[in-house]
Structure 1
Amino acid sequence: MKIYPYFKPLFLFAIIAVAVISCSKKEDPFVPADPGLTLELKSDAGTGELEVLSVDDVVVFTVLGSDGEDYSEMASYYINDEPISGRTHIFAETGTFAVKAVYDDINSNVLNFEVLAQTERALTIDAPRAMKNQTITFGLLDSDGNNEAADATFYVNGNAIAGFTFSSSSDGTFEVYAEYVVENEMYTTAPKNFSVYTPKRKVVIEDYTGTWCGFCPAVALAIDTAKVATNHISVVAIHETGASLPDPMHFERVQDLKDAFGIGGLPQARLNRKQKWLDPYNVNDVLAMAGTDTDLAIAIDSKITGANLTVDVKVVYASGSVTGDKIVVYLVESGIIYAQANYFNATSGHPLEGHGNPIPDFVHNDALRNSLSDIFGDAITETPAYAEFKKQYSLEIPAEYNVDNLAVVVMVVDSDNNAKNSQHAEVGENKTFE
């Protein structure tokens, strides 16, 4: 049984004083999502991820804002990061070209073009990163955009395959190229790489905690141990202000989460939202699930332009989406220095023995700052096997947040709020399916 130490009023006042002084910066507890402005770049050459052109083709670009305005004349345009004049461009040379538009420091999506000579062909791969046993389709486009795959021979890892599709029952990286004939001459494309993977489960660890909670550091220490043991975890620390002591990382809707998941007195920890992780927080409870094979994967691509954060999330299922599944998108911040109550200060042999009570310079990581989605998730619409469910979120980042320490945690939960898989990425990072 835990014995809670007796706090005299003077000592309680000291904790409050240290806590207030030790805060590194003012923390904004909760800011509702603000959609912000996003830009969509289009061209009259087509809307695919890769468009094929002939030498001297002329392309006209347009830019539409998420606010419904046309920014085509106001935006600046860049090809391979070099500025161009106006929004019309003549592609006078062969090669690959990436085009983007910028308005008021806001970047658009990127359009990719491949300019071909008369005898060249563009090799395409519909799934450059595919799940195990997923069918991958290769294409071979001429300068007019016609697909000549049916008349070509494709080689994967040096071996000719039948037709223009491929699948693998094993994970790995593969190389593909094509041989084709133009006017009785044999040509070979440059090789391209693709990969095959089996989705691995990332366990969600949610730490219900408070800076005033003297036993709460035990969970933080267990999480640190888990992070060393595996990268197949996603961590969210959900802070709550105490009855007498404030917590600057207090999450505004913490009570809604506590009510939904049966959270009582702190500390409390949950695995995959609903499974109790009990004292002594055995890391093997996490490792038993972390990194196991699963049937869905999550990708995150986030960008910051000025103060605007845009998060693009993708979910893919091996067997198609499941009715009732939802997507949860959280913004967390690490590296926050703030005093932490420590009931282990006098516990012989404990890692926090002699660190003080409170610990004045405790580092708080993975603190939940905002929920870009509904805190219990947004519905995932019906999606076929291997097709991508996509959703974009935006948020105006409060000035008080340390952008360098922000990360995005995404989880897919079922109709009963059990987390089926998760993914995490630093803000500004493009993390693909894994």
Structure 2
Amino acid sequence: MKTFPYLKILVVFTVITVISCSKKEDPYIPEEPALALELKSDAGTGELEVLSLDEAVVFTVTGSDGEDYSEISTYYVNDTAIAGRTYTFSATGTYAVKAVYNEVTSNQLNFEVLAPTERALTIDAPRAMKNQTVTFGLLDANGDDTASEATFYVNGSAITGFTFTSATEGSFEVYAEYTVENENYSTPVKNFSVYTPKRKVVIEDYTGTWCGFCPAVALAIDTVKAATNQISVVAIHETGSTLPDPMHFERIGELKDVFGIGGLPQARLNRTQKWVDPYKVEDVLAMAGNETNLAIAIDSKLTGSNLTVDTKVVYANGSEAGDKIVVYLVESGIIHAQANYFNNTPNHPLENHGNPIPDFVHNDALRNSLSDIFGDAIANTSPYTEFKKQYSLEIPADYNVDNLEIVVMVVNANNEAKNSQFSKVGENKRYE
């Protein structure tokens, strides 16, 4: 196709004008955090509390605003609402309890009610890291641990004591045999697994709907997605001087300053490593899925418009000074016109798609940051000990909930991402 010099000059002038004339952003005003509820009981707040028959338990609820919601919350036992906030467990079995106030749901408490001869088998790490010690417990109806008096079997073979370690990945079964008043009993079988943490590479795409060369990064990301799922993608949009971008992220200016972002498009791997044109897939695949020493889990719940996100981080070697956790909310499937300077480029994937492309699909657009945009401090954490932090957000009405995902990354003191994880809203994403 024949080209004309004056057209090239016009295109370059347009690009320079858009890049150099950025809009002055309003001062950032943090949003009020959405309400979160913490449910407790007088029986304890462990992940599993053991009760005897006909034991009564009293529940309390405290809001993240410091207010007491105990008397105005509705309590659910195995998803059935109860009257008041006291419940008597009159039958053996397992129970899950939660509280709800004004469409906000609390954390869940778990109980197991035992007959005098029954025991509750516990596993302190149902999903353990390779070489992590898994400890088994055996609780009686009084909550006393009788593990030292029992024999535990892992995959059918008796083990010494009540701990287990595996140097290889896999799925395992465990049960215990014990004696009560000279009678032999066995617990039901429970499952646990051992995994090796794998690295998910963070790809951050600094982009704008007005930026005609920016689709090149989006196409490269699509190619990476087809090759691996060991990536977490965040597209950070910026409004042009005269062409507004509906996905504009208010604090993009701060990110650009810290990470040395100039004119768009720009892409970064693991926050700080430049991913430059032609955006080679191999640059990402060289890191994606490699073994690492920390893992991230995400469990989110959406009640009405209230999103609660529970994040967990575990290290094989413990945390390092300066480690932080970043929690982003991204949205895909947003249809909006996209400038396309490849419209007349022979054999380009976007040739003859129009300029702009009227129905371009924008994915992974950064909508909100639940943490500080550069991360919240991770407290000193010992090896194989979980660091936990909960976040909450009131989802704006113009977000498409079905297309929302959560991206969590752990970064070091230099803002380099050490690992990441992503999940859909409402999904419980375990360590992997």
Interval containing the TM-score (normalised by the shorter chain): over 0.9
Judge conservation of contact 1:31–1:370 (CA < 8 Å) in 2.
Answer: no
Which of 374, 377, 390 is residue 375 of structure 2 equivalent to? Answer: 377
Which of 98, 101, 107 is residue 100 of structure 1 equivalent to? Answer: 98
Which of 214, 217, 220 is residue 216 of structure 1 equivalent to? Answer: 214
Match of 1:256 in 2: 254
Q: Distance in 2 between matches of 1:342 and 1:388?
A: 46
Which of 354, 357, 360 is residue 355 of structure 2 equivalent to? Answer: 357
Q: Distance in 2 between matches of 1:334 and 1:159?
A: 48
Match of 2:309 in 1: 311
Match of 2:412 in 1: 414
Q: Distance in 2 between matches of 1:62 and 1:209?
A: 47
Which of 78, 82, 85 is residue 84 of structure 1 equivalent to? Answer: 82
Q: Distance in 2 between matches of 1:6 and 1:211?
A: 21
Q: Distance in 2 between matches of 1:105 and 1:378?
A: 27
Match of 2:57 in 1: 59
The percentage of aligned residue pairs carrying the same residue is: 76
Q: Distance in 2 between matches of 1:73 and 1:324?
A: 41
Which of 334, 337, 340 is residue 339 of structure 1 equivalent to? Answer: 337
Q: Distance in 1 between matches of 2:239 and 2:53?
A: 64
Shift of 1:191: 0.4
1:249 is matched by which residue type in structure 2? M
**What is the CA deviation profile of residues 383-420 of structure 1, one whole-angstrom value per residue up to 9, with x for unaligned ones?**
11011111111222221111221111111111111111
Q: Distance in 2 between matches of 1:199 and 1:226?
A: 20
Listed as ranges, the matches of 1:291-302 within 5 Å are 291-302=289-300
Shift of 1:355: 0.7
Match of 1:15 in 2: none
Structure 2 unmatched ranges of 5 or more:
16-27
**What is the CA deviation profile of residues 5-33 of structure 1, one whole-angstrom value per residue up to 9, with x for unaligned ones?**
4559xx99xxxxxxxxxxxxxxxxx8834
The secondary structure found in structure 2 opposite 1:257 is: helix
Which of 267, 278, 281 is residue 279 of structure 2 equivalent to? Answer: 281
Q: CA RMSD in A?
A: 1.9
Which of 324, 327, 337 is residue 325 of structure 2 equivalent to? Answer: 327
Q: Distance in 2 between matches of 1:65 and 1:276?
A: 42
Q: Distance in 1 between matches of 2:29 and 2:364?
A: 17
Tell me which stretches of 4 or more aligned residues in structure 1 moved more than 3 Å: 3-8, 30-33
Listed as ranges, the matches of 1:67-216 within 5 Å are 67-216=65-214
Match of 1:26 in 2: none
1:73 is matched by which residue type in structure 2? E
Shift of 1:380: 0.9
Q: Distance in 2 between matches of 1:198 and 1:229?
A: 21
Shift of 1:427: 1.3
Q: Distance in 2 between matches of 1:34 and 1:192?
A: 42
Judge conservation of contact 1:321–1:385 (CA < 8 Å) in 2.
Answer: yes
Compare 96-105 and 238-247 and name the one that shifted more: 238-247
**What is the CA deviation profile of residues 368-392 of structure 1, one whole-angstrom value per residue up to 9, with x for unaligned ones?**
1111111111111101101111111
**What is the CA deviation profile of residues 265-299 of structure 1, one whole-angstrom value per residue up to 9, with x for unaligned ones?**
11111111111111111111101100000000111
Q: Which has the higher contact order (CA 8 A, sep 6+)?
A: 1
2:46 is matched by which residue type in structure 1? G
When residues 69 and 262 of structure 1 are mapped into structure 2, their CA distance, relative to the original with a 3 A threshold, is: closer
**What is the CA deviation profile of residues 67-113 of structure 1, one whole-angstrom value per residue up to 9, with x for unaligned ones?**
22222222111111112222222211111111111111111111111
Which of 32, 35, 54 is residue 34 of structure 1 equivalent to? Answer: 32
The secondary structure found in structure 1 opposite 2:223 is: helix
Listed as ranges, the matches of 1:18-29 within 5 Å are none
Match of 2:22 in 1: none
Shift of 1:170: 0.3
Q: Distance in 2 between matches of 1:89 and 1:258?
A: 54
1:370 is matched by which residue type in structure 2? N
Q: Distance in 2 between matches of 1:189 and 1:33?
A: 49
Shift of 1:225: 0.9
Q: Distance in 1 between matches of 2:368 and 2:305?
A: 15
Q: Distance in 1 between matches of 2:414 and 2:133?
A: 32
**What is the CA deviation profile of residues 183-235 of structure 1, one whole-angstrom value per residue up to 9, with x for unaligned ones?**
11110000000011110000000101111111111110110111111110000
Q: Distance in 2 between matches of 1:329 and 1:316?
A: 16
Match of 1:269 in 2: 267
Shift of 1:117: 1.0
| TM-score (structure 2 length as normaliser) | 0.93
Q: Distance in 1 between matches of 2:176 and 2:213?
A: 62
Judge conservation of contact 2:411–2:417 (CA < 8 Å) in 1.
Answer: yes
The secondary structure found in structure 2 opposite 1:433 is: coil
Judge conservation of contact 1:33–1:395 (CA < 8 Å) in 2.
Answer: no
Q: Distance in 1 between matches of 2:408 and 2:251?
A: 18
Q: Distance in 1 between matches of 2:221 and 2:428?
A: 24
Corresponding pairs, count: 415
Judge conservation of contact 1:33–1:372 (CA < 8 Å) in 2.
Answer: no
Kindly indicate whether residue 268 of structure 2 is the aligned counterpart of residue 238 of structure 1.
no
Judge conservation of contact 2:97–2:110 (CA < 8 Å) in 1.
Answer: yes
| TM-score (structure 1 length as normaliser) | 0.92
2:295 is matched by which residue type in structure 1? A
When residues 276 and 399 of structure 1 are mapped into structure 2, their CA distance, relative to the original with a 3 A threshold, is: same
Judge conservation of contact 1:5–1:343 (CA < 8 Å) in 2.
Answer: no
Structure 1 unmatched ranges of 5 or more:
13-29
Judge conservation of contact 2:103–2:306 (CA < 8 Å) in 1.
Answer: no
Judge conservation of contact 2:36–2:63 (CA < 8 Å) in 1.
Answer: yes
When residues 328 and 203 of structure 1 are mapped into structure 2, their CA distance, relative to the original with a 3 A threshold, is: same
The secondary structure found in structure 1 opposite 2:418 is: strand
